[in-house]
Amino acid sequence: MGLLKRGLFCPHLVCVALAIVVSLPASAQSILGFTPASAAHQIEIENKFKAIPSPAEEQRQHHIFTSEPHVAGSARNNELARYIADQWRNEGIEDVVIRRYDVYGSNPKFTSLEMVAPVHYRALLRELPIPGDPDSKNRSISSAWSGMSASGEITAPLVYAHSGNPEDYELLRKQGIDVKGKVVLVRYSNPYSYRGFKALTAEREGAAAILIYSDPAEDGFKRGQVDPKGPWGPEYHIQRGAITYDFMVPGDPLTPGWASIPGAKRIPVEQAVSIPKIMALPLSWHDAKPLLANMDGPLAPTDWQGQDWQGGLPIKYRLGGNRVRVHVKIEMDTSTQPYYVVEGRIRGSELPDEWIVLGNHRDAWVFGGVDPSSGTASMMEMTRALGKLNRQGMRPRRTIVVCSWDGEEVGLTGSTEWGEQFADELRKKAVAYINVDSSTSGPNFHGQAVASLAPMLVETSRSLKDPSGKSLYEAWKESTARERVAAKQSEEVQDSNLADTRIGSGSDHTVFLNFVGMPVLGLQFDGPYGVYHSAYDDYFWMNHFGDPGYRYHTLMSQLWGVLALRLANADLLPFDFANYAANIRQFVNELAKSDTVILGEAAVQRSGTAAQSKDPCPTCEPSGSAAPPLDLSGILSAIDDFEAAGKRLDESAARALASSAIDPKLADAINHGEMELERNWLNPDGIPGRPWFKHILYGARFTYAHLELPGLTEAVEKQDWATAKQQAEILRSALDKNTSLVNNLSAKLKSQGSSTEK
């Protein structure tokens, strides 16, 4: 792509800083945002820090967290909250508190599924024990259920609706199959969409219930050996999960936008947009197979808009609609229940009111071997190491806040309530949030960052050692290259595109990015993993397939902590706004590929081959009238200005850092300005139709997929030009605001530079 060839992603601060330290001894290492002296000191701290986490301790912690099922709201999950709090207090983490949120509950009282015609079959809705895995015999493993399912009872015909995405219902309609009042059977993934989106789609189509099963083609025997012989999902594995419409608003459905603390106002259930009105159940393929095998109707297509509706089971998949009738009965307990967030911190020695926030969710569908207890184990080793350094007198300059979230699996609930409760304080004090959900299901690293933090993430990966013996950076590049080849992506792996800067939803970073306006990072190692959200995602699986030896867990603790320490100790915060600008330009250029958007002649020259000039096309609008072209050339020039300002700031910051003489008051002013920048991407009104989601650059589709420039993109997709123009204006004025913010910061740095030269 043009952007990459032109090297616009070059992290300028790195370039300048490297140029400056060239003459230093080989042992000296530069770090973004650090003077040479503080970089040397930082490296010492990091080396001490990295030596503390151990694979044996990771394994011990992982075993504690995975010893029993610990779903949100359960006694065991609450016990684990107290365990974390006790550990943190013992380890030297300060101000440890457990915060309580009383939220709309969603727990199964009764679930059943029977096929009543043409033959009788009662679904097991259970996972049978696996030889060699003692935890799979645990009697407290839940049966199949979907978080936030509606309660009810229905006997109705069953229809196979492939992945349950809107285009799948189009095919059914073409075949004369109506799903109104019927039960739809859909599979997970292929292509991936969040199960809550499948539920909403079925609800909109008028279906009475949705059954979502795991087809072996996507996570079972068609992919490879299944548990206990391999990492893929066995016959009985059930992917539980919530269907909450948290793409509308996450968190407690009854307190949208404010915290569910005692005494908080609550809206009536009927007004809660994130509570589904459809019944839902997840199924193993063991339970789905008899239903599919008895279906009548047309054969499911092998190629409909590029999708193969035939799955991995040795049967002919049919669309159904008449012959198979099922009886679904679900009773949910929706009484209010408490969720508990554990919060602790290490108070900063110099800048206690600047916060680096770290978080992982604690609640699991069952044992949570990967999701999330691998991340919880990594967190516990990371906090033990931070506590130890603190006790040895190495207190970070800024405050590090660490949180164990609850109810992530239900609707990102604990983090959302906490973020809403402290939004005002976070908007003043927060530097960044680093999320680790699942830490490890294999050796392949994936790092996500808002574009301004991508360069520091890539830089940090160079200073960590992968279990393969290479640097994490090298290992990351190699696995990314392999993945791009496998996905037939032509983009060459470079530093500038290594970190994923497209951030959707689906984990606890959401409230911080989209509601509070904080820069976020997300870290994960992954690999073949077919037991997600099932009872087989446990200690056995991790020790046999995910991370035998716990070396990636350990690396995660090191990486997470080193990133936190760099943000906490930097002289000047390591944001790269020129890189942010280049990313925003790419987002705009992608939008401009749409036939209905023009960029203007000057813009086309600037953006090279990435965007084509389009004539306003008379057939673009459904009405057939002349389409009002959306001219984004003004935005592109505002991006150019923002990029130029970012480069100037990078240069003046690198010069100031190299001179080693930054007045602390000036550094303070620069850092606070930099912290404001992300907040300026918020539109208080939110994106059209979803007021909770306030970030104008980052959003998520209903499927959870990333959605850049969400307000503008959705308006363009709907060809709603009035809204598109409004959204473009909002983007433009945010760009202008941040350009002048960054210019002011450069001017401040320059004025000190000239005064010290005298």
Nearer to Zn ion, 420 or 437 (CB): 437
The CB-of-483 to Zn ion minimum distance in angstroms stands at 21
Choose among 414, 450, 446: nearest CA to 527: 446
The CB-of-580 to Zn ion minimum distance in angstroms stands at 28
Nearer to Zn ion, 241 or 348 (CB): 241
Segment interacting with Zn ion (CB under 5 A) among 60-68, 95-103, 437-445, 466-474: 437-445
Please, which residues bridge with residue 444 across strands? 526
The CB-of-537 to Zn ion minimum distance in angstroms stands at 10
The CB-of-356 to Zn ion minimum distance in angstroms stands at 21
The CB-of-342 to Zn ion minimum distance in angstroms stands at 16
Segment interacting with Zn ion (CB under 5 A) among 243-251, 371-379, 691-699, 750-758: 371-379
Nearer to Zn ion, 145 or 405 (CB): 405
Classify strands 337-346 and 279-283 as parallel, antiparallel or unpaired.
unpaired
Segment interacting with Zn ion (CB under 5 A) among 211-219, 322-330, 363-371, 393-401: 363-371
Q: Does 437 bind Zn ion (CB under 5 A)?
A: yes
Give the DSSP per-residue string, 587-603.
HHHHHHTSTTEE--HHH
Q: Which two tokens stand for residue 664?
A: 């602390």
The CB-of-127 to Zn ion minimum distance in angstroms stands at 19
Classify strands 152-160 and 121-122 as parallel, antiparallel or unpaired.
unpaired
Nearer to Zn ion, 395 or 533 (CB): 533
Nearer to Zn ion, 371 or 466 (CB): 371
The CB-of-441 to Zn ion minimum distance in angstroms stands at 11
Residue 58 buriedness (CB in 10 A; 0-12 / 13-18 / 19+):
buried
Nearer to Zn ion, 252 or 406 (CB): 406
Residues numbered 24 to 83 that lie near Zn ion (CB under 5 A) are none
Segment interacting with Zn ion (CB under 5 A) among 241-249, 368-376, 593-601, 667-675: 368-376
689: left (phi over 0), alpha (psi -120 to 50) or beta: left
Q: Which two tokens stand for residue 516?
A: 């509070």
Report how far residue 696's alpha carbon sits from residue 273's, in angstroms, rounded to the nearest whole number. 22
Q: How far is CA 757 from CA 208, 571, 743, in A?
A: 75, 20, 21
Classify strands 241-242 and 146-147 as parallel, antiparallel or unpaired.
parallel
Residue indicated by tokens 């092998």: 302
Please, which residues bridge with residue 118 across strands? none
Report how far residue 448's alpha carbon sits from residue 499's, in angstroms, rounded to the nearest whole number. 5
Residue 512: CB atoms within 10 A of its CB come to 26
Cα angle 75, 507, 263 (rounded to 5 degrees) comes to 55
Segment interacting with Zn ion (CB under 5 A) among 206-214, 289-297, 435-443, 494-502: 435-443
The CB-of-372 to Zn ion minimum distance in angstroms stands at 4
Nearer to Zn ion, 344 or 372 (CB): 372
The CB-of-553 to Zn ion minimum distance in angstroms stands at 15
The CB-of-361 to Zn ion minimum distance in angstroms stands at 6
Nearer to Zn ion, 407 or 561 (CB): 407
Q: Residues touching Zn ion: how many (CB under 5 A)?
A: 3
Nearer to Zn ion, 371 or 538 (CB): 371
Report how far residue 236's alpha carbon sits from residue 230's, in angstroms, rounded to the nearest whole number. 15
Nearer to Zn ion, 437 or 643 (CB): 437
Q: Does 407 bind Zn ion (CB under 5 A)?
A: no
The CB-of-404 to Zn ion minimum distance in angstroms stands at 13
Cα angle 632, 635, 640 (rounded to 5 degrees) comes to 130
The CB-of-86 to Zn ion minimum distance in angstroms stands at 23
Nearer to Zn ion, 402 or 570 (CB): 402
Nearer to Zn ion, 218 or 437 (CB): 437
Alpha carbon dihedral 570, 572, 578, 584, in 10-degree steps, equals: 70
The CB-of-364 to Zn ion minimum distance in angstroms stands at 8
Segment interacting with Zn ion (CB under 5 A) among 96-104, 370-378, 476-484, 666-674: 370-378
Choose among 434, 451, 423: nearest CA to 677: 451
Contact between residue 749 and residue 652 where contact means Cβ atoms under 8 Å apart: yes
- Phi/psi for 279 (5° steps) reads -80, 145
The CB-of-508 to Zn ion minimum distance in angstroms stands at 8
Contact between residue 385 and residue 557 where contact means Cβ atoms under 8 Å apart: yes
Report how far residue 317's alpha carbon sits from residue 250's, in angstroms, rounded to the nearest whole number. 36
The residue from 371, 466, 538, 674 that contacts Zn ion (CB under 5 A) is 371
The residue from 69, 233, 256, 372 that contacts Zn ion (CB under 5 A) is 372
Q: Which two tokens stand for residue 182?
A: 């019927």
Classify strands 209-213 and 279-283 as parallel, antiparallel or unpaired.
parallel
Report how far residue 706's alpha carbon sits from residue 518's, in angstroms, rounded to the nearest whole number. 17
The CB-of-438 to Zn ion minimum distance in angstroms stands at 6
Residue 96: CB atoms within 10 A of its CB come to 18
Q: Does 537 bind Zn ion (CB under 5 A)?
A: no
Nearer to Zn ion, 372 or 646 (CB): 372
489: left (phi over 0), alpha (psi -120 to 50) or beta: beta
Nearer to Zn ion, 291 or 370 (CB): 370
Nearer to Zn ion, 533 or 690 (CB): 533
Helix (H) or strand (E) holding 432: strand 430-435
Segment interacting with Zn ion (CB under 5 A) among 221-229, 434-442, 511-519, 748-756: 434-442
519: CB partners within 8 A, 6+ apart: 431, 432, 433, 449, 450, 452, 453, 513, 575, 678
Q: Which two tokens stand for residue 164?
A: 């349950």
Report how far residue 366's alpha carbon sits from residue 477's, in angstroms, rounded to the nearest whole number. 33
Summarize as ranges the residues that interact with Zn ion (CB under 5 A): 371-372, 437
